[in-house]
Structure 1
Amino acid sequence: MPEENGALCFENVVITRGGKPLIALDARIEPGDVLTVMGPSGSGKSTLLNFAAGFLPPAFSAKGRVTIGGEEITRLPAHERHLGLLFQDPLLFPHISVEGNLLFAVPQHVRGRKARRERVAAALAEVELDGFGPRDPATLSGGQKARVALMRVLLAEPRALLLDEPFSRLDPDLRAQVRRLVFGKARERGLPTLLVTHDAADAESAGGVLVKIGDPA
């Protein structure tokens, strides 16, 4: 529930490559708010997400801390940070059903097959995909895949969301619908959210603070 979540903070974070500063961020994202970092390709947006998530490539160096609810997560292994990530592609497992994809994300503290399947059914109903559990992911439309990917992230009970241009592969009309869904669910659950994008319309839809990086001089 929202009251269990805390702010996601980037405290004097500086990421460099080969000794050259790439991106710097000092920001606080309150539960339910969205901070957008906008810039062109190669400006360091995804690298910032990788640092927060615990996947910073060895070619980069970083200073500073990332905290959630006052707890530093920077030194934790990726799987202990409890961050939800959405990417440009839904990244659904192609060899298992929609239900199987979602069951994969249900936390271990939910015991028993019946209880776990009920969680999945409720998640599908929440995004108007009742009865889609047995479906092969390959049979889903782009918008349906995006909704399944979102609910898979939310079922894992993340403490914050990291969004890496998750709307960029959708057509314009569908993009607007999925934006509203993602930002609405983040607000409902009180999740601090970091969005990186090159699209000004994404930033406008997100609301909140906008940080621009990599602008031409």
Structure 2
Amino acid sequence: MRRLVLDDIRIGLDGKSLLALSCTIDPGEIVTIMGPSGSGKSTLLAYIGGLLAPDFTATGRILLHGHDVSSLRAEARHIGILFQDPLLFPHMSVGGNLAFGLSFSVKGRSARRQKVCEALKDIDLEGFEDRDPATLSGGQKARVALARVLLSEPCALLLDEPFSKLDADLRGQMRQHVFDRARLRGLPTLLVTHDEEDARAAGGRIIRLDQMAL
């Protein structure tokens, strides 16, 4: 099963403990992490994704599919991450951005182009392959960023406040879009947010770091 297990994760900075957490996230389950700024929410996601800055200390195991991925490089963990900003490559077309995220298991130009076209159709941007990312709206950029992550065929999904810069209407639509696809693909998902609406929409457990003893 695509279960994500955080086994006694402890993260510190300059000799001070930031957080301590153990949690199991089942396939298709969305667990929300909430807490004040500086409580270590995004730092936790960085550790899980293999992107933790060397200034921090961290211990504990990250288990995915029952395998310990704690010591693997980020790209070898097969954990997708969505950030606050879409982080699309400005020198690539929309199609190029999506092709960059494609799993290496997809071979051949024709097969890869087909995957990109299918991904654009799934996010209601059919025919946008040659568009410059700069011409997209904020909501369109967010959808392309999600599609790029999903094309990498992740085994788990991390959401680092990816809806925070969208207006209220787009925020609701994008939340539904992301959560539906996470559940459909059976991805254990960890959401970090300040927004109570995000947490309610996720519909899963809520872990509040400010209420946890270190």
Question: Shared topology, TM-score over 0.5?
Answer: yes
- Return the alpha-carbon distance in structure 1 between the equivalents of residues 101 and 61 of structure 2: 27
CA displacement at 1:214 relative to structure 2: 2.8
Q: Tell me what 2:192 maps to.
A: 196
- Return the alpha-carbon distance in structure 2 between the equivalents of residues 14 and 109 of structure 1: 35
- Return the alpha-carbon distance in structure 1 between the equivalents of residues 36 and 171 of structure 2: 19
Q: Tell me what 2:170 maps to.
A: 174
Q: Tell me what 2:16 maps to.
A: 20
Amino acid at match of 2:10: V
Partner of residue 205 from structure 1, selected from 197, 201, 207: 201
- Return the alpha-carbon distance in structure 2 between the equivalents of residues 95 and 124 of structure 1: 19
Partner of residue 125 from structure 1, selected from 91, 116, 121: 121
Amino acid at match of 2:185: R
CA displacement at 1:140 relative to structure 2: 0.5
CA displacement at 1:122 relative to structure 2: 0.3
CA displacement at 1:215 relative to structure 2: 5.6
Is the counterpart of residue 54 in structure 1 residue 25 in structure 2? no
Deviations 1:127-165 (A, max 9, x none): 111101111101101111111000000000001001100
- Return the alpha-carbon distance in structure 2 between the equivalents of residues 139 and 214 of structure 1: 40
Q: Tell me what 1:39 maps to.
A: 35
Q: How does 1:26-175 map to 2 (within 5 A)?
A: 26-175=22-171
What secondary structure, in the 3-state scheme, does the structure 2 residue paired with 1:14 have? strand
Identity of counterpart residues, as a percentage?
58
CA displacement at 1:108 relative to structure 2: 1.7
Partner of residue 11 from structure 1, selected from 7, 10, 18: 7
Runs (4 or more) in structure 1 with deviation over 2 Å come to none
Aligned-residue CA RMSD in angstroms?
A: 1.4
TM-score, scaled to structure 2: 0.96
TM-score, scaled to structure 1: 0.95
Deviations 1:41-78 (A, max 9, x none): 11100100011011111221111101111100101111
Amino acid at match of 1:159: C
Amino acid at match of 1:211: I
- Give the gaps of 5 or more residues in structure 1: none
Query: Aligned pair count?
Result: 213
What secondary structure, in the 3-state scheme, does the structure 2 residue paired with 1:89 have? coil
